[in-house]
Amino acid sequence: MIQLIGSVGAILAGCALLLSRGLPLLTAHRTGVLVGKGYSAQRIDRAVDPERFEALMKRRRAELAVPLIVILVGSLFLAQFVWLITTHVRP
d(CA 42, CA 35) in angstroms, rounded, equals: 6
Q: Are 29 and 58 in contact (CB under 8 A)?
A: no
In the chain, domain spans: 2-87
pTM over 0.75: yes
Rounded CA gap, 48 and 64, in Å?
A: 26
Radius of gyration of the chain (CA): 19
pLDDT tens digits along 35-78: 888 888 889 999 999 999 999 999 999 999 999 999 999 999 99
